[in-house]
């Protein structure tokens, strides 16, 4: 039996779905069985929100400084020149600006919901609301149509739920 002549890069790509599925199962298992107390989950949440803020900050830097800056070393490679006739899109450390928009929307909606409904102190609530505002604001720099639509949808759902429309049910009913 002869092994098929497949380049090494193709073999690596064939296993990408399996590796992604195994990573998802591992992360779920850690969340469900290891990180079970409230303090540990808040630490994980803090790390995720801090990482999203770093991505948002770097994306804002890319958007406002489209010219590569040589003194930044390897970071300059992540700030390509503005293409003629095309607006520059912030993409953080992602290859695609749409991926950054997803991260910012996901974490921004989570921070907003926790800031509105969470049982946290005033300082934590204000920090979460400020974080949500920064993440949603940075999403605009990605110029992602789906990202901006997703941001608007998240804001509408959270505002409707906060006003009680989703909690009461259909308008005109007592919610019983």
Report how far residue 109's alpha carbon sits from residue 154's, in angstroms, rounded to the nearest whole number. Answer: 6
Phi, psi of 151 (to 5 degrees): -65, -45
Higher per-residue pLDDT: 114 or 166: 114
Let me know: does 64 contact 88? Beta carbons within 8 Å: no
Tallying the residues shown for the chain, one arrives at 176
Token pair listed for 148: 């901006």
Separation of CA 114 from chain center: 15
Let me know: does 49 contact 36? Beta carbons within 8 Å: no
Q: Which of 23, 31, 55 is nearest to 134 (CA)?
A: 55
Report how far residue 141's alpha carbon sits from residue 107's, in angstroms, rounded to the nearest whole number. Answer: 16
pLDDT digits (tens, 9 = 90+) for 120-175: 889 999 999 999 999 999 999 988 999 999 999 999 999 888 887 555 655 555 54
Is the pTM here over 0.75, yes or no? no
pLDDT digits (tens, 9 = 90+) for 67-86: 655 455 555 555 555 444 44
Using a pLDDT cut of 70, give the percent of the chain over it. 73
Determine the Cα angle at 51 with ends 50 and 56, to 5°: 95
């Amino acid at each position: 039996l002869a092994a098929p002549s497949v380049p090494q890069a193709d073999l690596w790509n064939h296993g990408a779905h399996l590796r992604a599925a195994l990573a998802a199962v591992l992360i779920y298992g850690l969340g469900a069985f290891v990180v079970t107390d409230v303090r540990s989950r808040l630490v994980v949440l803090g790390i995720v929100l801090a990482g999203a803020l770093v991505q948002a900050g770097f994306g804002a830097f890319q958007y406002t400084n489209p010219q590569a800056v040589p003194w930044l070393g390897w970071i300059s490679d992540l700030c390509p020149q503005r293409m003629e006739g095309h607006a520059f899109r912030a993409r953080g450390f992602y290859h695609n600006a749409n991926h950054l928009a997803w991260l910012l929307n996901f974490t921004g909606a989570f921070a907003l919901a926790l800031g509105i409904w969470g049982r946290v102190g005033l300082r934590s609530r204000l920090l979460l609301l400020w974080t949500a505002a920064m993440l949603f604001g940075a999403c605009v720099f990605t110029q992602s149509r789906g990202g901006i639509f997703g941001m608007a949808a998240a804001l509408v759902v959270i505002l409707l739920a906060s006003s009680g429309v989703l909690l009461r049910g259909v308008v005109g009913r007592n919610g019983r």
